[in-house]
A and B are shown apart, each in its own frame.
Chain A
Amino acid sequence: MNRGRSRFLLSVLAFGYAFLYIPLISVMVYSFNDSRLATVWGGFSTRWYGELLRNEQVLDAALLSLRIAVLAATLATVFGTMAGLALSRFGRFRGRTLFSGMITSPLVMPEVITGLSLLLLFVSLQQLIGWPGQRGFMTITIAHTTFAMAYVTVIIQSRLSGMDQSLEEAAMDLGGKPFRVVFDITLPLIAPAMIAGWLLAFTLSLDDLVIASFVSGPGGSTLPMVIFSKVKLGVTPDINALATLIMVFVSTGVIIAWYAARRVQRQTEKNMQAAAKQ
């Protein structure tokens, strides 16, 4: 490789990663700033963490967000796995084109449109059948399930299409019922993809501000909604502390997952090599 070119690539990479990480690091550093003014360094302190943990509004919102995220991620994983199986294992069926279109569209739909359309649906339903009586936990969960299941489906589909079908075919040839084959063979094989899908759906749900703002009602404030209403007014030290906690928590989780996935992958490669030798 040309030396001038690799020097250029190195500097772009350095700039790119600095661009991605400097803002995050700066928030972390300033979360330990004693001064209430977010821009003046007033010495090291952890007082904002203490204030954060005493802030009931933030804690309530965090709890609501977690409850929504767990339920929405679980529903999205169930529906997404079903949709993924249907699209990559059931061949052609009536309405398949519409189905796959509806699966992938939420991935690229601007959030404002998804949010507005779902709110209008809930309002119309309420007029027609009186449900949902109150917007909040239930409506946000439905909205999050709908857009997160698209992501889960894509993950499941790509895992299924990259997977060798010989095990399933062998089981089928040996007289296994398709129903049992899916439960005993396919699902265990795609379990890692289902876990990845659940985690992604969980994160997407925890993150969402725009869609939740549309479909929520009075009293149903998720954590991003509370954060947004605070940061609209500017930088605040307790949000710095909250952001730091979230970033540390998420990064630890992602790094552990990455490390585990890499070990599994290496083990599989080793096993495959060993099998090939025999």
Chain B
Amino acid sequence: MVIAGTESTRDTLWQRFTIAIPYIWLLVFFLAPFAIILKISTADPIIGLPPFTSMFDDDGSFVATVDSFKFLLTDKLYGITYLRSVLMAASATVLCLLLGFPMAYGIARSSPATRSILLLLIILPFWISFLLRVYAWMGLLNNYGVINNFLMWLGVIDEPFRIMYTDLAIYIGLVYSYLPFMILPLYATLERMDLDLVDAALDLGARPSQAFRDITWPLARPGVIAGCLLVFIPAMGEYVIPYLLGGPESLLIGRVLFDEFFVNRDWPLASSVAIVLLMLLVVPIVFLQRSQAKDAEGGA
């Protein structure tokens, strides 16, 4: 390490300061909020400001209830919504992988000059507002939107084909929005891969499917895992896409949380919904951090 042993007191002080500022910021604005969510999830909702009961009784004794969690577990609606969210996020992840893998492979295999332009075109939408990109699909998918008008003009269909406000629209929105998150880590691993290995296998008589299964796929696995998690995790809590493209009956947990908080004003319940969502995501999040830490060490 660069800094060891010889530094003067002023320099250690300065280092402590450099660590302390972001550290304290994160403790206050990142860690503390979670403690508060936990606290409020164990309160009772009341009508008032703020709309929940205090953690301590008037005599100072500690009170906590698990009513909100009980309600979550017993009410069928929430179970179904969580399940639907997991399924939709997982299916969108698979769809992103199916489209993203060959794209990343194609980019990694193109000439260096083309490659940097292709990559730029993948990154560019990421810089353009997420909301506006989802909005762009509203104009395409409407009953009298661009796609339906085009299909009717072609004579393929006689009357509008309903896509907007269906699950199909949500899938399109999810795949569209999160595709770059799949392609970039995949590209990073595929680009490092030695293509000669595949060629050697093919020369030695392996079928392309065999070469893919035994060489490309195992070597690309770190990228596949990172890409899948980067799509799955945010897709689970997605709010904008189901709101704008999905129908009112298409319940996803991010939207339920939002409505529970803003429409029903049941803060304890919204906090419990958030905690259960977080518990569902802890495993993939830890997994992702591990794989990225490993990647950072390997890359350094």
Contact = CB atoms under 8 A, between A and B. Distances in A.
Nearest to B17: A82
B210 interface: no
Contacts of B168: none
Interface in A88-140: 89-91, 93, 95, 99, 101-106, 108-113, 116-118, 120-121, 123-124, 127
Given A2-B208, A23-B176, A178-B3, A112 B254 contact: yes
- Which of B26, B109, B130, B238 has most chain A Cβ within 10 Å? B26
Contacts of A82: 18-19, 21-22
Contact of B34 (A13, A16, A117): A117
Nearest to B36: A120
A23 B137 contact: yes
Interface stretch (B66-74, B117-125, B217-225): B117-125
Contacts of A235: 135, 138-139, 142, 145
A80 interface: yes
B233 interface: yes
A273 interface: no
Interface stretch (A42-50, A53-61, A224-232): A224-232
Interface in B140-155: 140, 142, 144-146, 149
Contact of A79 (B3, B25, B238, B243): B25
The 7 closest A-B pairs by CB, nearest first: A110-B237, A117-B33, A23-B136, A9-B106, A83-B22, A12-B102, A121-B33
Interface of A: 1-2, 5, 8-10, 12-13, 15-17, 19-24, 26-27, 30, 38-40, 79-80, 82-83, 85-86, 89-91, 93, 95, 99, 101-106, 108-113, 116-118, 120-121, 123-124, 127, 142-143, 145-146, 149, 153, 157-158, 161-162, 165, 168-169, 172, 177-179, 181, 203, 206-207, 209-210, 214, 224, 227-228, 231-232, 234-235, 239-240, 243, 246-247, 250-251, 253-255, 258, 262
Given A20-B179, A95-B23, A120-B40, 4 more contacts: A102-B27, A228-B131, A235-B138, A262-B116
